[in-house]
Chain A
Amino acid sequence: MIISVASGKGGTGKTTVAVNLALSIPNVQLLDCDVEEPNAHIFIKPSIKNRMPVFILVPEVDKTRCNFCGKCKEVCAYNAIAVLKKDVLVFKELCHGCGACAYLCPEGAIKEVNKEIGFVEIGEKDNLQFAHGKLKIGEAMSPPLIKAVKQYMNPTRTVIVDIPPGTSCPVIEAIKRSDYCVLVTEPTPFGLYDLILAIEVIRKLKIPFGVVINRADLGNRKTEDYCHKENIPILMKIPFKKEIAKAYSRGEIIIETLPEYKKSFQQLFSKIGT
């Protein structure tokens, strides 16, 4: 079973939920697909066994063969190529590596070369299997890297996927093919707004989902009311506790600092299963 842990915006406690859930149930693999800012490893502290660079193919133009016809720039949906009177420029940081330009160049002037966009690391902590990806600084193409992390998915285990925040392409890539999605939110007006956006996306992907309300006692009741009205299960409510905030800031895990929470996360898991 593949369980995604997502949130409409950053800072809601998504990673906290993913990590504590992963450590509360048996036979788990945790995949951190939040490749722009992976931080599950800070809490898990896995021993890393392997590190693999990830590449995409980007065009390189042989200017001696190019006749500056402009076909490559017309076909590029991402404005990653500029054709001037006597020059062709490739903006590698905008290129999605789709290969269209090389395919369509009438002069065969475009060769595709590898560009490293980041790496995947795999490791383990006790019985927990772990993998994450890290995008290079300044690199914007996270979907290919997310795909690379997911290639290490172990289907014999319960897989928990930490999804990047937001509702854009990387989120879709990371969430795809999940059996269930846990949406983490805060009971504030902004939190609810972002939650509703995230729910729209999950509904389109036809993935069953439920909501975890973090810092549940700090906001208002609107989030709960919304979930009831929409018939969305509230899987868990995590209160705001100084101990939890402190543990988090020290890179510690809730269920280790406050062991009574282990049961709550197990209940969360059993609600997903049924």
Chain B
Amino acid sequence: MKICVTSQGDNLDSQVDPRFGRCQYFIIVDTDTLEFEAIQNPNIDAMGGAGIQSGQLIAGKQVKAVLTGNVGPNAFQTLQAGGVEVIVGVSGSVKEIVEKYKKGELKPTDNPSVGRKFGMGQK
């Protein structure tokens, strides 16, 4: 099964990026084999709608869940419509997060965790 973790770097030892729409990288990991793909986020500097664009990008990758720090309402809605579970409030290295997820320690949220524009202006 594939999941996506937002990350500050391009490998499994990188730290989680707490923003969704404007994170540095999306790491798409196969939870069984730990094979992964690091996608540099093309939406970091989007004027608006970064969460929506990122949401579509990730939904298109057929992942079961997204694990990140925070998700705004537009991104949340997009991910839900794309059938992707959203898990917020995670931190640590990507690898640790994947392990926790596999053990079933992380539960999806039913609500966006922050208001609009949360990730704006942070680098």
Query: A residues bordering B, Cβ < 8 Å?
Result: 73, 78-80, 82-85, 87, 89, 91, 94
Is the beta-carbon distance between A83 and B49 smaller than 8 angstroms? Answer: no
Is the beta-carbon distance between A87 and B81 smaller than 8 angstroms? Answer: yes
Contacts of B82 in A (CB 8 A): 84-85, 87
Is the beta-carbon distance between B81 and A89 smaller than 8 angstroms? Answer: yes
Say yes or no: is B56 at the interface (Cβ < 8 Å to chain A).
Answer: yes
Give the Cβ gap from B46 to chain A, nearest Cβ, in Å: 6
Q: Return the chain A residue nearest B116 by Cβ.
A: A93
Is the beta-carbon distance between B83 and A83 smaller than 8 angstroms? Answer: no
Contacts of B68 in A (CB 8 A): none
Say yes or no: is B119 at the interface (Cβ < 8 Å to chain A).
Answer: no
A78 to B83, CA, bound (A): 23
Contact mask for chain B residues 84-121; partner A; CB cutoff 8 A; 1 contact, 0 none: 00000000000000000000000000000000000000
Is the beta-carbon distance between B56 and A73 smaller than 8 angstroms? Answer: yes
Number of interface residues of B (CB under 8 A): 16
Instruction: Say yes or no: A89-B77 contact (C-beta < 8 A), given A73-B56, A82-B55.
Output: yes
Contacts of B78 in A (CB 8 A): 82, 84, 89
Give the Cβ gap from B81 to chain A, nearest Cβ, in Å: 4
Contacts of A91 in B (CB 8 A): 49, 52, 74
Give the Cβ gap from A139 to chain B, nearest Cβ, in Å: 13
Give the Cβ gap from A172 to chain B, nearest Cβ, in Å: 16
Give the Cβ gap from B64 to chain A, nearest Cβ, in Å: 14
Contacts of B28 in A (CB 8 A): none
Instruction: Say yes or no: A79-B50 contact (C-beta < 8 A), given A73-B56, A84-B56, A91-B74.
Output: yes
A82 to B79, CA, bound (A): 10
Is the beta-carbon distance between B48 and A85 smaller than 8 angstroms? Answer: no
A-B pairs with beta carbons under 8 Å apart, 19 shown: A73-B56, A78-B48, A78-B49, A79-B49, A80-B49, A80-B52, A82-B55, A82-B56, A82-B78, A84-B56, A84-B81, A84-B83, A87-B81, A89-B52, A89-B77, A89-B78, A91-B52, A91-B74, A94-B74
